A and B are shown apart, each in its own frame.
Chain A
Amino acid sequence: MIENTGILLSIIMAIPMLGVMFASLAKDGQGQTIKGRNVLSVGIFTVLSNLVILWITARKINVNGTNLQLIEKFKWLETPNIELVFGIDFFSLLLIAAIHFAVLLGMIGVRNNPYRQKTLIILSLLFLSMITGYLLAADIFSFYIFFEATLLPLFMLVGIFGDIKKQDILYRFFLYNLLGAMLLFTALCILFDNENVSISEISRVSLNRHIEIFVWGAIFVAFLSRIPIWPFHYWISSVNVNITNPLVFIVANIMPLTGVYGLIRFFPLTAPDILEPYLLALKIISITTMVVISLIGFSNRDIQYKLFSYMTVYYILYLLGALLPTDALLGNIGFSLFAYLIVISAIEIMISHLEKEKQCTKVGDCGILCNIKRSSFVLSFFILAAVGLPLSSLFLNNMLIFAGLLSYNIKMAAFILLAIILSSISLLHHLFYLKYPQEEVTDSKDVCVSDISMSVFCVLIVFMLILIASFINPLWFME
Chain B
Amino acid sequence: MLNNYIALLPELVLFLGLICMRLVKLMRKDNTPKTFYTLSRFFLFFGAVFTAIFYNQNVTGYLYNNLFTTLFKILIYIFTFIWGYLSLKRFTSKNMPSFNFYNAVLFNTLCFSVAISTNNLLILFFGLSLGFWTSINLIKMEKEPYELNGNGVYSAFSFFFILAFACGVGIFYHYTKSFDYDAIERALAVKSLLIWQYYLAFSLIMCSILYMMSVAPFHFWFANAVGNSILPVAGYITIIPIFAYFSCMVNVIVNAFYPILGWFNIAFMCFGIFSIFIGAIGANSESNLRRIFAYSGLYYIGVTILALFPINDNNLVSAFIYLLVYIVAFCGIYTIFYGYRSRGDYLTELEDIKGIATQRPFLSVALLIFMISLIGTPPLLGFLGKLSVINSMIVGKEFVLVGAILVAMLILVYAYLKIITVVYFEARNKNFDEVDKGVYICMLINIILILIAIINPKYLMHDVEMMLIAVF
Contacts and interface: CB of A to CB of B under 8 A. Distances in A.
Do A and B interact with each other, yes or no? Answer: yes
Contacts of B189: none
A152 B465 contact: no
B432 interface: no
A145 B379 contact: yes
B405 to A, nearest CB: 9
Given A149-B378, A159-B424, A170-B421, A178 B413 contact: yes
Interface stretch (A57-65, A188-196, A333-341, A460-468): A188-196
Contacts of B406: 179, 182-183, 186
Contact of A159 (B378, B413, B425): B425
B457 interface: yes
B378 A145 contact: yes
Nearest to A156: B424
A189 B391 contact: yes
A185 B390 CA distance: 9
B461 A149 contact: no
A175 B414 contact: yes
A163 B390 CA distance: 36
B391 A192 contact: yes
B390 A77 contact: no
Contacts of A214: 399
A171 B414 contact: yes
Nearest to B462: A78
A75 B383 CA distance: 17
Interface string A162-173: 001001001100
A186 B402 contact: yes
Interface string B345-379: 00000000000001001000000100010010111
Contacts of B421: 159, 167, 170-171
A152 B418 CA distance: 14
Contacts of A77: 457-458, 461
A377 interface: no
Contacts of B323: none
Given A79-B462, A80-B391, A160 B410 contact: no
Closest 7 CB pairs of A and B: A145-B378, A182-B406, A189-B394, A159-B425, A78-B458, A171-B417, A189-B391
Interface residues of B, number: 35
B395 interface: yes
A365 interface: no
Contact of A148 (B361, B378, B391, B413): B378
B394 A79 contact: no
Contacts of B368: 152, 156
A181 B375 CA distance: 12
A49 to B, nearest CB: 22
Contacts of A181: 377
Nearest to A183: B406
Given A76-B458, A182-B409, 8 more contacts: A80-B391, A119-B361, A160-B425, A170-B421, A175-B413, A189-B390, A189-B394, A190-B394
Contacts, number: 83
Given A149-B378, A186-B394, A160 B458 contact: no
A271 to B, nearest CB: 24
Interface SS, B side: helix
Interface in A404-459: none
Contacts of B378: 144-146, 148-149
Contacts of B424: 156, 159-160
Contacts of A155: 420
A151 B391 contact: no
Given A145-B379, A193-B391, A75 B417 contact: no
A395 interface: no
Contacts of B386: 185
A235 interface: no
A394 B326 CA distance: 48
5 contacts: A77-B457, A79-B465, A148-B378, A164-B425, A174-B417
Given A170-B421, A174-B417, A189-B394, A78 B461 contact: yes
B39 to A, nearest CB: 40
Contact of B377 (A80, A148, A179): A148
A194 to B, nearest CB: 10
B200 to A, nearest CB: 38
B58 to A, nearest CB: 29
Contacts of B361: 119
Contacts of A171: 414, 417-418, 421
B382 to A, nearest CB: 11
A329 to B, nearest CB: 31
A151 B377 contact: yes
A159 to B, nearest CB: 5
Contacts of A78: 458, 461-462
Contacts of A183: 406
Interface string B408-452: 011001100110110011000000000000000000000000000
B468 to A, nearest CB: 12
Contacts of A146: 378
B417 A79 contact: no
A72 to B, nearest CB: 15
A196 to B, nearest CB: 12
Contact of B417 (A76, A145, A170): A170
Interface string A125-154: 000000000000000000011101101100
Contacts of A174: 413, 417
A76 B457 contact: yes
Contacts of A164: 425
Contacts of B395: 193
A179 B457 contact: no
Contacts of B417: 170-171, 174-175
Contacts of B414: 171, 175
Contacts of A192: 391
Contacts of A190: 394
Contacts of B377: 148-149, 151-152, 181
Interface string A354-381: 0000000000000000000000000000
A149 B410 contact: no
Nearest to A190: B394
Contacts of A185: 386, 390
Nearest to B314: A79
A146 B383 CA distance: 12
B133 to A, nearest CB: 39
Contacts of A145: 378-379, 383
Contacts of B317: 79
Contact of A178 (B379, B390, B410): B410
Contacts of B402: 186
A155 B372 CA distance: 12
Contacts of A75: 458
Contact of B420 (A76, A159, A179, A189): A159
Nearest to A76: B458
A325 B425 CA distance: 45
Nearest to A158: B425
A78 to B, nearest CB: 5
Contacts of B410: 175, 178-179, 182
B181 to A, nearest CB: 28
Nearest to B421: A167
Contacts of B418: 167, 171
A193 B394 CA distance: 8
A79 B420 CA distance: 34
